[in-house]
Amino acid sequence: MIETIQSLIDREAKIRIPASNLTPRANLYELGMTPYTAIRLLLAIEREFRVEFPRDTLNRETMATMESIARCIRAGQFTPAYEWRDAA
């Protein structure tokens, strides 16, 4: 999971250091991620992991580190993406 998140960070967050060189607790905002690129990263994670972030997790802390992103995914704090569309 971390390797996938690292790849998405490199592609979407545009930080100064390759994500593979970071510790899981490195603050992505301190390394140059902007609110705009955080949204791009969030959307890429949703697509890749086929999940949808609940509204209460859409905050700076959730996207601040690879560890916090992975923790949210592992904890199942997400609803399956587009679940309501499958019922139609």
Q: How far apart are CA 67 and CA 64, in angstroms?
A: 8
- CATH pick for 2-86 out of 3.90.600.10, 1.10.1200.10, 1.10.10.10, 3.40.50.2000: 1.10.1200.10
State the DSSP code for 52. E
pLDDT at 79: 54
pLDDT tens-digit series, residues 11-70: 999 898 999 999 999 999 999 999 999 999 999 998 898 887 778 778 899 899 999 999
Phi, psi (5° rounding) for residue 23?
-80, 160
Global pTM value: 0.80
Q: pLDDT tens, 73-86?
A: 876 645 555 554 44
DSSP 8-state assignment for residue 6: H
d(CA 14, CA 74): 25
Contact 73, 1 (CB under 8 A): yes
